[in-house]
Structure 1
Amino acid sequence: MAEGLLANRPPESHLAYVTLVTNADYVRGARALVRSIRLTRTEADCVVLHTGAVSRSQLAPLSDLGARLVKTELLPTSDAFNDSHARERLHGVAPFTKGQKPPFHTPLDNFAKLRLWQMEEYQAVVFIDADALVLKNCDRLFDYPEFSAAPNVYESLADFHRLNSGVFTARPSAMTFEAMLAELDTPGAFWRRTDQTFLQHFFPDWHGLPIFDNMLQYVWFNMPELWNWSSIHVLHFQYEKPWQDPHPKAAKLAPLIELWKAFAGDGPVPVVATLPGPDQARVAV
């Protein structure tokens, strides 16, 4: 393994789905995500990058589901970089106005996902944030070029010019990782939306994935005409997380929260294609 990475076992495939957990709350999300990936019957590895902030006992449920655990460290960024990307500083300069980030959200941790470029034991990687569910097999994404991501669409069509880094394709390379480090932490660097802003800067000619490969939960109530359960491959709970209690948008997002809870448990999960859409769900209420 590359410097800064320590795996609990060797890889079993040359392809991998990778997620990142940096605290116990995101372990909860990752368990549901890993289970959802396994239910698609993929033969790719399922890898959980984790930092020292997560204990072995907390990670055990992920290992039990067959995840390959890779311990990592936060990036070796400067004190000035760390200060400018600390939660209160970043949220003060670039506040979130469309939704609320949970208390356990730590912006600086997001950059640790760049470590996946060090995982050269894999030919291709699909990264998925731990606050997401895979609802249909996504193995075709391994054939997409680097760097591919879906647009950050959740409010209007004007959002199509920005990518969302909750799902993306990558080709691990130590050379790419070193180039990223050199570009990331330069004097005065400030990445407004952390890794997301940086990745769009680093890959300016990024390839667009369909929005159904990273369907953001706010589409449910902001753009219901785009919602099609039969087409959605990845459902991404951006902003508020489905395990939050209290949840500030629980009423608006109730069907999606219930779906997440089904995957987070050990029982059966619904046939997603048969679920009611946003308009039907409102009528039912």
Structure 2
Amino acid sequence: MTDAPLLDRAPGGPCAYVTLVTNADYLPGAVALVNSLRRTGTTADVVVLHTGGVDPAALAPLAERGARLAVCGLLPTSEEFNLAHSRRAQHTRAPFTKGEKPAFHTPLDNFAKLRLWQLPYERVVFLDADIIVLRSIDRLFDYPEFSAAPNVYESVADFRRLNSGVFAARPSGATFAAMLARLDTPGAFWKRTDQTFLEAFFPDWQGLPVYDNLLQYVWFNLPELWDWTLARVIHFQYEKPWDPANPKRGQLAPLIALWQAFHDDVALPELPEPCTSS
């Protein structure tokens, strides 16, 4: 399927925040994200790409919060590509050794976020559904394509790699077509799916401040980097705050409590200082 995502209503303006929900297990995250964006007072559209794998009734809470729903298909990739990026194959060939992905993580689905280049907007900011926004990030719409924050969660050496949980882009059918041509070639394997692909496709990517995509592991790995006065986005990049099987629930308890308050749309808890040991 190469058709553009179908929005449930016309765009409200030239800019949009976009997230992706490919299965019902990501709905709690999307609810918290939409609530957090609404609290910032942004007037930009909030668009939820979904691939038809979620019951329409289950998506209703997102629409009730003002999100525009956009149904889209997974990318038209080859069987070889799909097998190479299945959960079993991807986790075997490039295992996650620093953290644990939840059981509902489906690597192949990640590539569907490329559909945002087909959306009818001039400027978009993509946000993974496991993110909360603490204060306005509307200024990111003015950043050039392609801008993303570094993948910092263990050491400052990570500044050389991007994290695709937050990025600024310019929708374009020509760009989308070029992506499809580059993505699925014989023997293609993108170690960290869309993240590795986007880093290769945009080798001159511009860096956003780390505080526009503050990864949760900074909380205990690099506490000296954590600064509540600067933090604008918190990204729960491995274990999810709504997952009852989260093995780092104790270490990340203050961040999970903050996420829960956004999800429930209640008063936010006091913000503690980060811990200094794992």
Contact map agreement 2:145 2:168 (CA 8 A) in 1: yes
* Structure-2 residue corresponding to 1:154: 153
Contact map agreement 2:219 2:275 (CA 8 A) in 1: no
* Distance (whole Å) between structure 1 residues aligned to residue 106 and residue 124 of structure 2: 24
Q: How far off is 1:279 after superposition?
A: 4.1
* Structure-2 residue corresponding to 1:248: 247
* Structure-2 residue corresponding to 1:238: 237
What letter matches 1:59 in structure 2? L
Q: TM-score, normalised by structure 1?
A: 0.95
Alignment of 1:188-199 (within 5 A): 188-199=187-198
**Which deviates further from its counterpart, 6-15 or 76-85?**
6-15
| Structure 1 runs of 4+ with >6 Å offset | none
1:258 paired to 2:257: yes
What letter matches 2:30 in structure 1? A
For 1:120-140, what per-residue CA distance to the aligned partner results, in whole angstroms no more than 9, with x for missing partners?
A: x21100000000000010000
Contact map agreement 2:35 2:265 (CA 8 A) in 1: no
* Structure-2 residue corresponding to 1:277: 273
* Distance (whole Å) between structure 1 residues aligned to residue 57 and residue 106 of structure 2: 22
Q: How far off is 1:88 after superposition?
A: 0.3
* Corresponding residue SS for 1:198: helix
* Distance (whole Å) between structure 2 residues aligned to residue 38 and residue 131 of structure 1: 16
1:14 paired to 2:10: no
* Distance (whole Å) between structure 2 residues aligned to residue 41 and residue 266 of structure 1: 14
Q: How far off is 1:50 after superposition?
A: 0.5
Report the number of matched residues.
Answer: 276
* Structure-2 residue corresponding to 1:267: 266
* Distance (whole Å) between structure 1 residues aligned to residue 178 and residue 42 of structure 2: 31
* Corresponding residue SS for 2:166: strand
Q: How far off is 1:168 after superposition?
A: 0.2
Q: How far off is 1:266 after superposition?
A: 3.1
Q: How far off is 1:13 after superposition?
A: 1.3
* Structure-2 residue corresponding to 1:113: 113
Q: Which ranges of structure 2 fall in alignment gaps of 5 or more residues?
A: none
What letter matches 1:172 in structure 2? P
* Structure-2 residue corresponding to 1:98: 98
* Corresponding residue SS for 1:90: helix
Identity of aligned residues (%): 66
Q: What's the RMSD between the two structures over aligned residues? A: 1.2
